[in-house]
């Protein structure tokens, strides 16, 4: 199964909010994947086993896997576009 990770400052609140939302969107679209909220301080060790990274922060670092804009999931602005990218990346 593919893995989606969402990172925030502690891996507790914001990342879990987004992760729950991502999980619901995937369920609605019948896409099976693990979604995990992680601590941004340990991001480098999680990103190796991930297929999609949903980012809540702006970073200069480039990752090899598709990176989505997590803010869209929080504010609802630009959400449809990110949803599509998410589903495409996991198909």
Partner 1 sequence: MEVLQNAVQYVLDMGASVFVPIIMLVIGLIARMKFKDALSAAIIFGVAFSGMTLVVDYMLSAISPAAQTFAENTGINLTSVDGGWTTAAAITWSWPFAFLMFPILVIINITMLAFKWTKTLNVDVWNVWGKIFTAILVTYLSGSIVAGFIVASIQVIVELKIGDVWGREVEDLTGIPGVTVPHHMTLVASLLYPIDKLMDKVPFLNKKMDAEALRDKLGVFAENHIMGGIIGLLLGLAASYSIQESLILAIQAATALTLFPMVSKLFMQALSPISDAISDFMKKRFEDREILIGLDWPILAGRNEIWVTAIIIVPVLLLFAVTLPGNTVLPFGGIINLSIVVGAVLLTRGNLVRMIIYGIITAPVFLYISTYFSPYITRLAKETGAVNVEEGSMLTWSTIENGEFKLFFANAMNGEWWAILASIGWLAIFTYFVIGRQKDNDKYFAEDIEEANS
Q: How far is the CB of 68 from partner 1 (least distance, A)?
A: 14
Q: How far is the CB of 28 from partner 1 (least distance, A)?
A: 13
Question: Which parts of 1-91 fold into alpha helices (H)?
Answer: 14-28, 43-47, 71-75, 79-90
Return residues touching partner 1 (CB under 8 A).
7-17, 20-21, 37, 39-42, 55-60, 71, 74-77
By C-beta, is 11 or 89 nearer to partner 1? 11
């Amino acid at each position: 199964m593919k893995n989606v990770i969402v990172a925030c400052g502690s891996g507790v609140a914001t990342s879990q909010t987004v992760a729950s939302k991502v999980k619901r969107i995937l369920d609605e679209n019948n896409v099976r994947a693990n979604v995990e909220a992680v601590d941004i301080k340990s991001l480098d060790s999680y990103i190796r086993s991930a297929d999609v990274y949903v980012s809540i922060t702006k970073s200069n670092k480039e990752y090899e896997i598709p990176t989505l804009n997590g803010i869209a999931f929080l504010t609802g602005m630009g959400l449809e576009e990110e949803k599509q990218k998410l589903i495409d990346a996991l198909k």
